[in-house]
Amino acid sequence: MPPRHSSSSNASGKTATAPPPRRVRVLLPLPLDRAYDYLDELEPPLKEGDFVRVPFAGRERTGCVWSCDPTAEGTGGEAVDAKKLKQVIARRDAPPLPADIARFIDWAAAYTCAPLGSMLRMAMSVPKALDPAAGMTGYVRAKTTPEDLRMTAARKRILETASESTPLGAAELARRAETGAGVVRGLAKAGALLEVACAPPTPFATPDTERAGPTLSADQERAAETLCRKVDGDGFSVTLVDGVTGSGKTEVYFEAVAAAVKRGRQVLVLVPEIALAGQWLERFTERFGVAPAVWHSELAQGKRRATWRAAADHGAAVVVGARSALFLPFADLGLIIVDEEHEAAYKQEEGVIYHARDMAVVRGREAACPVVLVSATPSLETTVNVEEGRYERVHLPDRHGGAIMPEVTAIDMRSQGPETGQWLSPSLREALAAVFARGEQAMLFLNRRGYAPLTLCRTCGHRFSCPNCTAWLVTHRAPQGLICHHCGYRLPPPESCPQCGGEDTLATCGPGVERLAEEAGGLFPDQRLAVIASDMAGGAQAAAEVLSRVRDHEIDLLIGTQIIAKGHHFPGLTLVGVVDADLGLAGGDLRAAERTFQLLHQVAGRAGRESRPGRVFLQTYMPEHPVMEALVSGQRDAFLEAEATQRQAFALPPFGRLAAVIVSGPDAATVEATARRLRRAAPQIKEVEILGPAPAPLTVLHGRTRWRLLLKAPRRSNVPGLMKSWLGAIKIPTHVRVRIDIDPYSFL
């Protein structure tokens, strides 16, 4: 076998054979498709996963050792002559990236067609976490006390308190000895105490798994046992916890969390909207005596650093987070929970496009740990996986404590609607009045921010639209103005029509939550009313405050967008009014019906969660639509089945695969031409269909024109492979961007 590398000493064979220089392949957290080779002359030699500093493009950068055997097959990239390679500068003083997350990154990059380096970047999102933790000086007692030591009572107490093995910080040692830290330092100087460097204590306390949870019902017990068995069994599995809202799904999976923590493993809980998870955090704290570590993108830098590090060195047993928490480098992941697995918020649409629920399953597979998906309205994807035996299912059919599911009534707006300019039908008004008369609470749901979605001129018909996007400007009252919900473009409230100059000719059309609040406030002036929307002043924190005031019954009527739909438990809430149940059904989204069902079911589930029964009213212009019928009759499974039959007939997901290509750029002609060229370069494969190109429904966004193509393929095809060879075949002009969205959820 020829030597991999030849040097003069090797060739002459006279001197002892010098070992060939070690070569490592280093992946950088940059939008690059491949890793690069470097020479490793460090001692001890580098290992896979080590974080290293390397020279790259004239700069020093931190990357991760992706392979220590880069000349092996299948590692990608050709072998570069060792003489041309640069050396690794240094190893970073941080725990190496675990092998399971490295495999996950490889898989996720290949699947989503994202650059490998961009995936790594998500796992290295806190560069500061790779710096050595700011150490602490601890003190231990020296074996012998210097003979000439001047002894005082305080010094004596310190020496008695200090141990020979467990270092304590100066402040702590002084506190225990009831003296000052100066005395500790004096003893160190005199040689009676030794200074030792020690790691700072982890800021995350371990959950107390000995605390008793609630007594579970028989169904809950069975479900919890199944989950705990998975946790104890070691190895990958996926289980769906399917149970109506209020059936105790959270209590049940808390048991699995406890089981994993008891075994000394780490747990990741994904929630769709961490900023609003206040109630969840309270419950966790009540159950386990400590708060979990929290992870999301708006976390302060220091907290991000601490949490990343605590995941890596097992300093945190439980991390609850938004989808990006999947990329935390857990040292010993033993369980992943995906709460509200059907939520669209799990699909990341910016940057690297991925679906966190699907990726959680892969993360679990690579970590060889159980994954638990939780929902009252499981996605069709998950439902089919259960039916086909890939996922197991545990079922909680009843609400806890005998609370009954709310009665759902459709209000036919064609015959029972309100007068023009009003949005609450007479029956809904009556129901609200009755609830308030009984001292109970109500909620009105309208998934539309602002005051009115459209403003137009009654004289010339001019409509206010965004100059940067294909979108109407939404009128807002607080603060006042016309706003584009896509790019944030803003106009002050207009006094006249910019087209015909007409004054007092402008009319606002349709309701947003602000307008609804105006109407409700007029009808029920004595009730305490609050509005919640994702764009409210004060952000998520303000929203969370309102939610807790609702729970404490300081609010009688809550009006809000979809952020009020999720998971909140309001004991006194007995009426939910869905103001425009049809809103989500418009547009060409293949999941429109499924999503509307999930969302409205979730909203409806807020009503009557305790002893008093709840009622739900759906205002709709199409009460005969299958979604409305399913909500009214409570026949979720029949609806899902019908939905599945339809999707199957058209080979749509989950029975077929889709991938979207979005071409965008500032110049409309170049974008269109590129989209058409892409079409001509498309793979010509039987059973693979290309739809488009066509202008995207949101044709202009942020000033960029957008065109879409859609690839439709049979379920078992290698879609990422198809996409790679397709897009690799053509050169994309500068200023034009082509994005691939595997398994698209948005078709805008």
| Cα→Cα distances 376→171, 279, 286, 304, 555, Å | 51, 18, 23, 31, 27
- DSSP codes joined into one string, 533-599: -TT-TTHHHHHHHHHHHHHTT--SEEEESGGGTSS---TTEEEEEES-TTGGG-SS-TTHHHHHHHH
Burial of 3: CB neighbours in 10 Å, binned 0-12, 13-18, 19+: exposed
Q: Can you tell me which of 369, 371, 413, 466 binds Zn ion, judged by CB under 5 A?
A: 466
By the rule CB under 6 A, 400 interacts with ligand ADP? yes
Judged by beta carbon distances under 5 to 8 A according to partner kind, the member of ligand ADP, Zn ion, none in contact with residue 569 is ligand ADP
Asked if residue 654 has a cis previous peptide bond (ω within 30° of 0), the answer is: yes
Nearest to 180 by CA among 152, 203, 208, 204: 152
Provide the minimum distance between the beta carbon of 32 and Zn ion in the complex, in angstroms, as a whole number.
32
Please say which residue, 469 or 513, places its beta carbon nearer to Zn ion: 469
3-class secondary-structure state, position 110: helix
Please say which residue, 220 or 455, places its beta carbon nearer to Zn ion: 455
Provide the minimum distance between the beta carbon of 564 and ligand ADP in the complex, in angstroms, as a whole number.
15
- Binding segment for Zn ion (CB under 5 A), chosen from 52-60, 374-382, 483-491, 645-653, is 483-491
By the rule CB under 6 A, 611 interacts with ligand ADP? no
By the rule CB under 6 A, 406 interacts with ligand ADP? no
Provide the minimum distance between the beta carbon of 46 and Zn ion in the complex, in angstroms, as a whole number.
49
Provide the minimum distance between the beta carbon of 496 and Zn ion in the complex, in angstroms, as a whole number.
22
Judged by beta carbon distances under 5 to 8 A according to partner kind, the member of ligand ADP, Zn ion, none in contact with residue 468 is Zn ion
Please say which residue, 215 or 415, places its beta carbon nearer to ligand ADP: 215
Judged by beta carbon distances under 5 to 8 A according to partner kind, the member of Zn ion, ligand ADP, none in contact with residue 489 is Zn ion
Judged by beta carbon distances under 5 to 8 A according to partner kind, the member of Zn ion, ligand ADP, none in contact with residue 262 is none
By the rule CB under 5 A, 642 interacts with Zn ion? no
- Binding segment for Zn ion (CB under 5 A), chosen from 250-258, 346-354, 395-403, 463-471, is 463-471
Judged by beta carbon distances under 5 to 8 A according to partner kind, the member of ligand ADP, Zn ion, none in contact with residue 484 is Zn ion
3-class secondary-structure state, position 619: strand
By the rule CB under 6 A, 250 interacts with ligand ADP? yes
By the rule CB under 6 A, 222 interacts with ligand ADP? no
Please say which residue, 274 or 466, places its beta carbon nearer to Zn ion: 466
Judged by beta carbon distances under 5 to 8 A according to partner kind, the member of ligand ADP, Zn ion, none in contact with residue 400 is ligand ADP
Q: Cβ atoms within 10 A of the Cβ of 283, count?
A: 15
Q: Residue type at 676?
A: R
28 neighbors 61 (Cβ within 8 angstroms):
yes
579 neighbors 511 (Cβ within 8 angstroms):
yes
Judged by beta carbon distances under 5 to 8 A according to partner kind, the member of Zn ion, ligand ADP, none in contact with residue 251 is ligand ADP
By the rule CB under 6 A, 245 interacts with ligand ADP? yes
694 sits in which H/E element: strand 689-701
Work out the angle at residue 83's Cα, subtended by the Cα atoms of residues 78 and 88, and round it to the nearest 5 degrees.
Answer: 85
By the rule CB under 6 A, 217 interacts with ligand ADP? yes
Please say which residue, 384 or 405, places its beta carbon nearer to ligand ADP: 405
Please say which residue, 243 or 450, places its beta carbon nearer to ligand ADP: 243
By the rule CB under 6 A, 343 interacts with ligand ADP? no
Q: What is the Cα–Cα distance from 368 to 389, expressed in whole angstroms?
A: 19
Q: Can you tell me which of 32, 487, 529, 642 binds Zn ion, judged by CB under 5 A?
A: 487
Q: Can you tell me which of 338, 469, 483, 671 binds Zn ion, judged by CB under 5 A?
A: 469
Judged by beta carbon distances under 5 to 8 A according to partner kind, the member of Zn ion, ligand ADP, none in contact with residue 177 is none
Residues in the chain: 748
Q: What is the Cα–Cα distance from 603 to 616, expressed in whole angstroms?
A: 9
Residue 424, phi-psi category: left (phi > 0), alpha (psi -120 to 50), beta (remainder): beta
Judged by beta carbon distances under 5 to 8 A according to partner kind, the member of Zn ion, ligand ADP, none in contact with residue 720 is none
Axis-axis angle for helices 153-161, 181-189 (nearest 10): 80
Which residues, other chains included, contact 371 with Cβ-Cβ below 8 Å and sequence gap of 6+? 236, 237, 238, 239, 335, 336, 337, 338, 360, 361, 363, 364
Task: Dig out the tokens for 596 from the structure.
Answer: 């509307």
* Residue window 157-196: x/- pattern of binding to Zn ion, with contact defined by CB under 5 A: ----------------------------------------
Q: What is the Cα–Cα distance from 339 to 511, expressed in whole angstroms?
A: 32
By the rule CB under 6 A, 214 interacts with ligand ADP? yes
Please say which residue, 333 or 405, places its beta carbon nearer to ligand ADP: 405
Please say which residue, 340 or 580, places its beta carbon nearer to ligand ADP: 340
Provide the minimum distance between the beta carbon of 584 and ligand ADP in the complex, in angstroms, as a whole number.
22
By the rule CB under 5 A, 470 interacts with Zn ion? no
By the rule CB under 6 A, 220 interacts with ligand ADP? yes
Task: Dig out the tokens for 689 from the structure.
Answer: 């269909």
Q: Residue type at 120?
A: L
Measured in whole angstroms, how far is the alpha carbon of residue 574 from the centre of its chain? 31
Please say which residue, 30 or 668, places its beta carbon nearer to Zn ion: 668
- DSSP codes joined into one string, 391-430: SEEEEE-S-GGGPPPPEEEEEEHHHH---TT--S-HHHHH
Please say which residue, 241 or 558, places its beta carbon nearer to ligand ADP: 241
Q: Cβ atoms within 10 A of the Cβ of 214, count?
A: 11
Q: What is the Cα–Cα distance from 575 to 604, expressed in whole angstroms?
A: 9
Please say which residue, 355 or 485, places its beta carbon nearer to Zn ion: 485
- Binding segment for ligand ADP (CB under 6 A), chosen from 249-257, 573-581, 652-660, 702-710, is 249-257
- Binding segment for ligand ADP (CB under 6 A), chosen from 214-222, 347-355, 447-455, 681-689, is 214-222
Site residue total, ligand ADP (CB under 6 A): 15
By the rule CB under 6 A, 569 interacts with ligand ADP? yes
Beta strands across the sheet bearing 529-532 = 407-412, 615-620, 573-578, 441-445, 557-560, 529-532
By the rule CB under 6 A, 247 interacts with ligand ADP? yes
- DSSP codes joined into one string, 140-161: EE-SS--TTPPP-HHHHHHHHH
- Binding segment for Zn ion (CB under 5 A), chosen from 188-196, 439-447, 481-489, 618-626, is 481-489
Judged by beta carbon distances under 5 to 8 A according to partner kind, the member of Zn ion, ligand ADP, none in contact with residue 214 is ligand ADP
In this structure, the strands spanning 193-198 and 136-141 are: antiparallel
Please say which residue, 245 or 441, places its beta carbon nearer to ligand ADP: 245
Q: Residue type at 277?
A: A
- Binding segment for ligand ADP (CB under 6 A), chosen from 35-43, 83-91, 212-220, 649-657, is 212-220
Nearest to 356 by CA among 374, 375, 343, 366: 343
Q: Can you tell me which of 71, 202, 416, 468 binds Zn ion, judged by CB under 5 A?
A: 468
Please say which residue, 176 or 569, places its beta carbon nearer to ligand ADP: 569
Q: Cβ atoms within 10 A of the Cβ of 85, count?
A: 16
Judged by beta carbon distances under 5 to 8 A according to partner kind, the member of Zn ion, ligand ADP, none in contact with residue 247 is ligand ADP
310 sits in which H/E element: helix 301-312
Q: Can you tell me which of 61, 303, 477, 486 binds Zn ion, judged by CB under 5 A?
A: 486
By the rule CB under 6 A, 248 interacts with ligand ADP? yes
By the rule CB under 6 A, 733 interacts with ligand ADP? no
Nearest to 155 by CA among 191, 188, 184, 181: 184
By the rule CB under 5 A, 698 interacts with Zn ion? no
Work out the angle at residue 308's Cα, subtended by the Cα atoms of residues 232 and 208, and round it to the nearest 5 degrees.
Answer: 45
Work out the angle at residue 132's Cα, subtended by the Cα atoms of residues 129 and 135, and round it to the nearest 5 degrees.
Answer: 120
Please say which residue, 51 or 284, places its beta carbon nearer to ligand ADP: 284
Q: Applying CB under 6 A, which residues contact ligand ADP?
A: 214-217, 220, 243, 245-251, 400, 569
Binding site for Zn ion (CB under 5 A): 466, 468-469, 484, 486-487, 489
